[in-house]
Every structure is written in structure tokens, then in C-alpha cells.
Amino acid sequence: MSEAGSWKQEQSTQTPASVNLAQGWNNVCYTGQTKPVEEATSGMAAAIGILYKFLDTQSWERYVPNRADVTTISTLTQLDSVLVLITEAAGTTWVFDP
């Protein structure tokens, strides 16, 4: 575009209860309640290779299941933007708690 444009985005009043994730990298808006990262991902922990959370400081934190020595995320907060590597060939489903 050579001219400025605008994009009107309306916020949905319904948040998804779950999201299907494919093998490989997935970008997800976490819609569950604020919880420790281990609890928020407990239903799919076996499928996670690594999860990154984008911070408002333009930096990242990471969560690696069973690797407290390299994990820097303590909690996930509703509407956090995360990038998650799913290692299961069939993918997985991330169920969010209301």
C-alpha cells in the first residue's frame, strides 16, 4: 500500500476453551486464568518441547518441562502471547480453564 490504512479489530466476548496445536511451532494467545506455567500446561506437558512468552519489554521468557534450570517463566496470565513447540507427531489440544 502506498497510502495509510486502518484495520478495525473487534474483541470477541467469548474466549476459546481450547486450541488444537499441530506438531512444530504454534503461536497461541493464552486465554486461561493466571496460573503457574506448570499448572496451565499440565494437560499437554508431554507434548511440549519448549514454550516462549513474549514480554512487553520486547524480550522473551521460556518454559521447558522438567527443566527448572533453564525455565524463566513462573506464570501464564490471561492473554499472554506464547510460542510453543509441540513435539508430538499427532499434535495436542491445549484446554484452558475458565
Q: For residues 28 and 70, what is the distance between their CA atoms, to the nearest angstrom?
A: 21
Q: What is the pLDDT averaged over residues 20-36?
A: 96
Percent of the chain whose pLDDT exceeds 70:
91
Residues 86-93: what's their mean pLDDT? 97
Instruction: Give, in degrees to the nearest 5, the angle at Cα 57 between 11 and 97.
Output: 45
Q: What is the mean pLDDT of the chain?
A: 90
The rounded distance, in Å, linking the Cα atoms of 55 and 72 is: 12
Q: Is 42 helix (H, G, I), strand (E, B) or coil?
A: helix
Distant-in-sequence, close-in-space partners of 38: CB < 8 Å, separation ≥ 6: 45, 65
Interval 6-35 mean pLDDT: 86
pLDDT single digits (tens) 36-49 = 999 999 999 999 99
Q: How far is CA 27 from CA 2, 20, 68, in A?
A: 30, 11, 23
> What pLDDT is stored for residue 9 in this prediction?
62
d(CA 36, CA 19): 19
Does position 27 have pLDDT exceeding 90, yes or no? Answer: yes
**Using CA atoms, how far apart are residues 83 and 29, in angstroms rounded to an integer?**
9
